[in-house]
Amino acid sequence: MFNTKDILSNYKRIALVGASKDLKKTSSIVMKYLQDYGFKVYPVNPSMKGEKILGEEVFGKISEIKEQVEIVDVFRPSDEVAAIAKEAVKVGAKVLWLQIDIKNEEARKIAEANNILYIENKCTKIEFEKYLNK
Query: pTM above the 0.85 mark?
Result: yes
SS (H, E, C) 83-110: HHHHHHHHHCCCEEEECCCCCCHHHHHH
In this predicted structure, what is the pLDDT of residue 134?
53
Q: Please tell me the predicted confidence (pLDDT) of residue 1.
A: 55
Report pLDDT for 132.
Answer: 73
- Please list the ranges in the chain whose pLDDT falls under 50: none
Domains of the chain with bracketed CATH = 4-132 (3.40.50.720)
Q: Dihedral of CA 60/97/122/83: which sign?
A: positive
